[in-house]
Amino acid sequence: MFIIDGPAELRGEISVQGAKNSTLPLLSAALLCKGQTVLHNCPELSDVNIAVKILEHLGCRCRREGHDLIVDSAITSCEIPEDLMRGMRSSIVFLGAMAARCGRARLCSPGGCELGPRPIDLHLSSLRRLGVEIDESGGWLTCTAPQGIQGAYVSLAFPSVGATENLILAAVCAKGTTIIANAAREPEICDLCEYLNRCGGRVYGAGESCLIIDGVKELFGCEHRVMPDRIAAVTYMAAAAVSGGNITLRDVDNTHILPMLAPFEESGCEVRQMGGCLNIMAPRRLGPVKHIRTMPYPGFPTDAQPAVMSMAAVGQGTSVFVENIFENRYRHAQGLGRMGAQIKVEGKVAVVEGVESLTGAAVEAADLRGGAALCVAALAAEGRTRLTGEAHIRRGYEDLAGGLRELGARVRESEES
Ligand code: UD1
């Protein structure tokens, strides 16, 4: 568990880790490339460790040197065992690359998850359009591409991040051209396309809603720096905001932060962006964050909603959240409530009446971003918070406790239960 003694006032400078949500598809992409890929700025996370285990199981050799991850690509198996699939919901992102590299793939369906039902219908229907035959019986997905992957026109009913990634990975070495309409535009998609193009791929339009992919015969591994983690950055910004802090984040991509700035400005924080650095200075008492509606990029990201709700919990006034992406994404509201927050949740709407101060409590992280949000709130709370379930946090944050300590928070990790 994390033991957090509040309140804190964060000060200082810290570097932001590489992006989890970029690393996982990049590792899947490495499977498609001949030779060696070196990923720089690769965060040390339990989800990344699982992705590495999947690659090793499939036949790749992987080696970590600090924040460099070196993958020597080879494939001897086309099946991901159940324990690895269940270890990480996003392992579905290996599907497109495996189908493309081996012409077949077998993996168990990822099933439901802590954010509510997480369907993969768009992944499957769009891969079928590229000529992949998929059998879904017995809880397993068995995929074959008897004629090889064929370029096609695919229009996504929703700009799903995972489905877009799987399609790109399947299409990059397909016969002919693939056009993806209503593609996801998240920066992590751009990072994936940049890597693939550097490996010899021909993917055009990354960051736009229409992607054009001219299939190439082969890809060759290369060196690539994983983009900065915009969600880790916003988590530290929220931590500074609730604690009346003044911190500087290094290694951020400020353009990726823009869609998340509104609640910080609304609540009275001063944010200055300079090159790859971001400074945030919070007022003594935050105002409300007002209205947050989660949307696909460049809208406000669902992954940033929980940490910003912790700001709303102590911001003077009323804030309203509408969660449009995942069904079960207010589980942190219960923990915040235990700390004294006034939050009413009804379906996809949450109304938060900011209180003067929170009180430390025993709370449990139910999911990754919700767990980080409870950590943020604990910094604004009087007294001690004991946060269990921190394994969720390790899935996506490289040493969040250490990072907060570096900024002056009193956080320690304990084996107690
Ligand atoms: C990715 C991120 C996750 C982030 C999310 C939204 C990774 C590993 N995960 O998840 O951290 O919270 O984007 O930015 O990068 N949907 C369908 N059918 C499908 C696929 C998705 O209905 O086949 C729906 C989902 O139920 C959800 C919405 O589309 O309501 C968004 O999902 P998607 O963009 O696919 O998110 P993930 O790729 O799962």
Question: Probe ligand 1: pick from 160, 293, 367, 392, max atoms within 8 Å of CB?
Answer: 160
pLDDT at 322: 98
Q: Which residues form the pocket of ligand 1, taking CB atoms under 6 Å from any ligand atom?
A: 21, 24, 90, 118-123, 158, 160-163, 184, 301-303, 325-326
Residue nearest to atom 29 of ligand 1 (CA): 160
Q: Which of 32, 30, 51, 64 is nearest to 396 (CA)?
A: 51
CA–centroid distance, 28 to ligand 1, in Å, is 17
Question: Probe ligand 1: pick from 161, 227, 256, 297, max atoms within 8 Å of CB?
Answer: 161
Q: How far apart are CA 369 and CA 329, in angstroms?
A: 9
CA–centroid distance, 159 to ligand 1, in Å, is 9
Place of tokens 């004991």: 386
Which atom of ligand 1 is nearest the CA belonging to 47?
8
The DSSP code sequence of 31-66 is: TTSBSEEEEES----HHHHHHHHHHHHHT-EEEEET
CA–centroid distance, 301 to ligand 1, in Å, is 11
Which atom of ligand 1 is nearest the CA belonging to 122?
23
pLDDT at 139: 83
Q: How far apart are CA 299 and CA 318, in angstroms?
A: 21
pLDDT at 111: 56
Question: Probe ligand 1: pick from 50, 89, 118, max atoms within 8 Å of CB?
Answer: 118
Residue nearest to atom 33 of ligand 1 (CA): 160
CA–centroid distance, 366 to ligand 1, in Å, is 18
Which atom of ligand 1 is nearest the CA belonging to 121?
23
Extract the tokens encoding 378. 């604990």
Which atom of ligand 1 is nearest the CA belonging to 327?
30
Point out the residues that are catalytic: 113
Q: How far apart are CA 362 and CA 387, in angstroms?
A: 6
pLDDT at 117: 67
Q: How far apart are the first and last CA of the chain?
A: 7
Residue nearest to atom 9 of ligand 1 (CA): 21
| Those residues with Cβ within 8 angstroms of residue 236's Cβ, 6 or more apart along the chain or in another chain | 14, 16, 247, 249, 403, 407
Residue nearest to atom 35 of ligand 1 (CA): 160
CA–centroid distance, 181 to ligand 1, in Å, is 17
Residue nearest to atom 20 of ligand 1 (CA): 120
Which atom of ligand 1 is nearest the CA belonging to 188?
15
CA–centroid distance, 404 to ligand 1, in Å, is 28
Q: CA 120, 121, 124: angle at the middle one, nearest 5?
A: 90
Beta strand pairing call for 291-293 and 318-322: parallel
Q: Which of 367, 299, 374, 352 is nearest to 116 (CA)?
A: 367
Q: How far apart are CA 361 and CA 341, in angstroms?
A: 12
**Residue 397: which region, alpha, beta or left (left: phi > 0; alpha: psi -120 to 50)?**
beta
Beta strand residue intervals within 184-306, DSSP E: 202-204, 210-214, 223-225, 246-250, 270-274, 277-281, 291-293
Q: Which of 248, 198, 244, 250 is nearest to 223 (CA)?
A: 198
CA distances from 157 to 119, 121, 175 (A): 13, 10, 24
pLDDT in tens, the chain (417 residues): 999 999 999 999 999 999 999 999 999 999 999 999 999 999 999 999 999 999 999 999 999 999 999 999 999 999 999 888 888 878 899 999 999 999 999 998 775 456 766 789 999 999 999 999 999 988 889 999 988 999 999 999 999 999 999 999 999 999 999 999 999 999 999 999 999 999 999 999 999 999 999 999 999 999 999 999 999 999 999 999 999 999 999 999 999 999 999 999 999 999 999 999 999 999 999 999 999 999 999 999 999 999 999 999 999 999 999 999 998 899 999 999 999 999 999 999 999 999 999 999 999 999 999 999 999 999 999 999 999 999 999 999 999 999 999 999 999 999 876
Question: Probe ligand 1: pick from 325, 329, 392, max atoms within 8 Å of CB?
Answer: 325
Extract the tokens encoding 19. 């992006």
CA–centroid distance, 89 to ligand 1, in Å, is 10
Question: Which residue type, as a one-letter code, is found at position 135?
Answer: D
Which atom of ligand 1 is nearest the CA belonging to 90?
8
pTM to 2 decimal places: 0.97
Place of tokens 């932060």: 257
Q: Which of 29, 109, 135, 7 is nearest to 404 (CA)?
A: 7
Q: How far apart are CA 309 and CA 289, in angstroms?
A: 8
Which atom of ligand 1 is nearest the CA belonging to 123?
23
Residue nearest to atom 39 of ligand 1 (CA): 162
CA–centroid distance, 104 to ligand 1, in Å, is 24
